Chains A and B, each alone.
Chain A
């Protein structure tokens, strides 16, 4: 267990170092970062002053060392658009996104586990085919288009839901549905596959022979043992929900990390983009660590080893 966690921690630290290098070279891809950090109409003198102030006139290795120091102090510079430190702008938006993603992930699991289980209990039946069709359909619909059509039909034409904002519980429906769109299909198929395997295992067949109900079979015996792949993919998709959050904010003006990043792109606010990549990278690393802990909780073999 400790060995497993420390191994994962080491790989996470390497990944973190990699993320730092990516963030550093992002600024270096087009020469001086001054063109990225300063407004488009900045004068040559302003650029030179900027380069001197932040040490961009020094050799690259020295710059990298300084950059690592800055990043570890969460200093990504000022956000041009928001007039506050970029790290603050990103961090203050994280809770909103985490809340939205948590709601979406909980509902995704609530939908995917029963659907996948039903499909696995009756393989190649009509239900199974319909559920597979549902999964393929969710994987084929662009989330931004799904969101727009949702607004068009439910908000504009039928007037059932608000088009944007967070005023009521109703306004959560479309953003959460948009965020769920891709994960729910994938997870349903993962649940189906994992359950198919465990339902055919000897101990489940034994329990069936003893006359237990299918509910008990599926949820007490099979699901617990099918949990590991489901947790892995759910964790993976939870990290990917940042992608969905960007789309949700672009369509519904939903506050959160997506909104901050989209604003940063439209206002050419580079410091925020950099801080965003770093903070989200850390968040995903933490999420992976959480998944490892859940792993250990779900599987005694990992706890003991």
Chain B
């Protein structure tokens, strides 16, 4: 093949390839697995409630009423907004849960996203470059692993002011090593593949190889890990808020609500039980989904690998 000749575009084959790619992605598989489908729908519904419901519920969530103190749940006497009862200040539990949902999702989502992007980037560079850079980065990761995450978070948040940003940053740093190791391990294997060698032969820079050849193949695993992490980061964030170093009023997440409810555990069980149940439902949905992603992991990886190989073949023609 000569460089002067334009590469003929073949829409038919590209279209067929896209079709085959979608057939191999998990979307078509998702529909066939009821538990995974329900989990995905539950998560989507919760995110929608958090996004749309939180601004609407904010005022109600902060509305205090002495008359409604410890109003028990499952009664529609004061309207559906008090169906989950009211806390010690007469605030609607349902409204608070909806407002807490937004913060819980923002914190967990942002922490997972930040850790995934930074950790995967560092991991890919570490694995691809190797040498002392790799050794140094792995030692940093060892250090993070050495100090138990809650203790590190407790200590850092003790020094810094409690805020959403600081909470996200601390959670993200403590979760970095997982992505770093996963991305590094895959990169170590992928960099020996023929298509990487081929890219190098046609003069691609290291960064281009990492971005175009390695990233697409590392991504599915990172996505699976992220989904698994979403649940555990949500639990970790709630734990920090429960201990009083995470979020503080006026910011509330489900952990803050549990810690407030705990003060009158014997008087009003619902103020403790419901926010915890919200965490359990969310985490369970995320865990079911990630468990299924792992189980169905091979088809997509195979698909992604096939797509990448096909692209490399195109480039070499």
| Range, interface on chain A | 35 or more
State how many angstroms separate the Cβ of A10 from the closest Cβ of chain B.
10
B residues within 8 A CB of A26?
155-156, 159
**Complex contact A30–B160 (CB within 8 A):** yes
**Complex contact A148–B156 (CB within 8 A):** no
Number of A-B contacts (CB under 8 A): 145
Q: Taking beta carbons and an 8 Å cutoff, which residues of B are in contact with A?
A: 139-140, 142-143, 146-152, 154-156, 158-160, 231-232, 235, 238-239, 242-245, 255, 258, 262, 265-266, 269, 272-273, 276, 279-280, 283-284, 286-288, 291
**Complex contact A145–B272 (CB within 8 A):** yes
**Complex contact A141–B147 (CB within 8 A):** no
Residue of A156, A240, A250 near B243 (CB, 8 A) is A250
Q: Per DSSP, are chain B's interface residues mostly helix, strand or loop, or mixed?
A: helix
Residue of A27, A144, A261, A280 near B239 (CB, 8 A) is A144
A276 within 8 Å of B (CB atoms): yes
**Complex contact A276–B151 (CB within 8 A):** yes
State how many angstroms separate the Cβ of B225 from the closest Cβ of chain A.
14
| Complex alpha-carbon distance, A275 and B142, angstroms | 20
**0/1 interface trace, chain A 103-142, chain B, CB 8 Å (1 if under):** 0000000000000000000000000000010001101111
List 17 interface pairs A-B (beta carbons < 8 Å), by A numbering: A11-B139, A18-B140, A29-B159, A136-B288, A142-B235, A142-B242, A144-B258, A148-B262, A152-B265, A243-B150, A247-B239, A262-B243, A276-B151, A277-B155, A280-B147, A281-B146, A284-B147
**Complex contact B276–A243 (CB within 8 A):** no
A36 within 8 Å of B (CB atoms): yes
State how many angstroms separate the Cβ of A34 from the closest Cβ of chain B.
13
B residues within 8 A CB of A262?
243
Counting from the closest, the 3 A-B pairs by CB-CB distance are A18-B143, A145-B276, A140-B283
B237 to A, closest residue via Cβ? A142
**Complex contact A273–B287 (CB within 8 A):** no
State how many angstroms separate the Cβ of B93 from the closest Cβ of chain A.
15
